[in-house]
Amino acid sequence: MCAAALAASIVLMLAVARGRTGVVGDAIALIGEARTGGLTLVMPEAVKDVRVREARVPGRPIVLIDPGHGGRDPGAPGVSGTSSEKDLTLAMGRELADLLEQRGRVRVALTRENDKYLTLEERAAIARHLRAGLFLSVHMDSAPNPQARGATIYSLSDVASSAEAARFAAAENGGDGALSSEADDSVRALLADVALREQMEESAGLAERMLKRAAGRVELRPSPHQFAAFHVLRRTETPAVLVEAGYISNADDEARLMTKEGRAPLVLALAQAVEADLAARANR
């Protein structure tokens, strides 16, 4: 090899080495960017806004609190004409998240922290993305009968516990923000799945635990544990319940649910039940 060729090959090697370094550097940057990019593509927009509040001890499960409705979907109107379901669910959801954060035994996040519209699938996708250990959707009931009052807890089931529960689930599943029929079909195919059975059993156990904590402290409906086929609960792929905190079509319930003090007993009962449920599952 002549000197010129040697010099040329050294220059070439240097160029390749520099090139490689560049490639490696780029690849590292690309991997990081690709992950962020991948998440943005795969996850709905809603996921990016979710903030997880840490527990006092690392590695604790995430409780995902889902204030029902929001944005262009106000939910049920209050009987006084001054409240709407979406505002009350947000207030109560935040209070529950604050309390859980303050107690520090679990990590906690909210599907929405402001007056934002989210589809049911987006809410479920957030739960799946976070691998939430527990999903709790907060709602306020409404009925034509102004005397109807008290809290109800719905857990996931493929069989509704009553005609009313079936109608309620159909109303929640249908309409604006419903899951696509494609998602619906894949959900139906999962019905025989063992994991789904387990999800239903754990959801029912969670509902029972919540009612036990709430009994005597919070006004409950005569049959407070109801079962219904809520697509949003199923699609979270984790133990999930839907809490109807009371009837805002009833003047007493509405007045109670419109203040922080009025909501506090149920918020505390839910927080305690959530912690107990996750602790029990961790110890199994």
Nearer residue to Zn ion within complex by CB, 87 or 275: 87
Nearer residue to Zn ion within complex by CB, 106 or 233: 233
Nearer residue to Zn ion within complex by CB, 95 or 172: 172
CA distance 15 to 9: 9
Q: Which residue is nearest to Zn ion (CB)?
A: 139
Q: Which residues bind Zn ion (CB under 5 A)?
A: 68, 75, 139
Q: How far is the CB of 174 from Zn ion (least distance, A)?
A: 13
Q: How far is the CB of 75 from Zn ion (least distance, A)?
A: 5
Q: How far is the CB of 148 from Zn ion (least distance, A)?
A: 15
Sign of CA dihedral 272, 277, 278, 283: positive
Nearer residue to Zn ion within complex by CB, 210 or 242: 242
Tokens of 212: 């036990």
Q: How far is the CB of 228 from Zn ion (least distance, A)?
A: 13
